[in-house]
Amino acid sequence: MAYAILFDSTKCVGCRNCEAACAEKWKNPYNEEIAAEEKLSAHKLTAVQTKGGRFVRRMCMHCNDPACVSACPVGALLSVCMPGSCCAWSAATPSNW
């Protein structure tokens, strides 16, 4: 099964809910100090970086059911099944993507 996580930087507001959800799913620590880190590490599998007034998301991209996607309050993340693969679940593609 091949999945992709699409990220729309024009929608992201930098809330870091995706970081917190990922940490919770994988039972990693998450606090203000870790939230301030803008790079991936062994304890931070999702990181939101600030780039000139916009936000860029770095992620591990290994989840079949990514907690980060459902945690995004503005719909900046979308998980989709790649063409030609047999996915166990599918995500509806919003018309505004």
State how far the Cα of 49 lies from the Cα of 69, in Å rounded to an integer. Answer: 17
Which contiguous run of DSSP H or E holds residue 68? helix 67-71
Q: What are phi and psi of 7, to 5 degrees?
A: -125, 125
45: left (phi over 0), alpha (psi -120 to 50) or beta: alpha
Query: pLDDT 10s digit of each residue in the chain, 97 long?
Result: 567 888 999 999 999 999 999 999 999 999 999 999 999 999 999 999 999 989 999 988 778 789 999 999 999 999 887 776 655 544 444 444 4
| pTM for the whole structure | 0.80
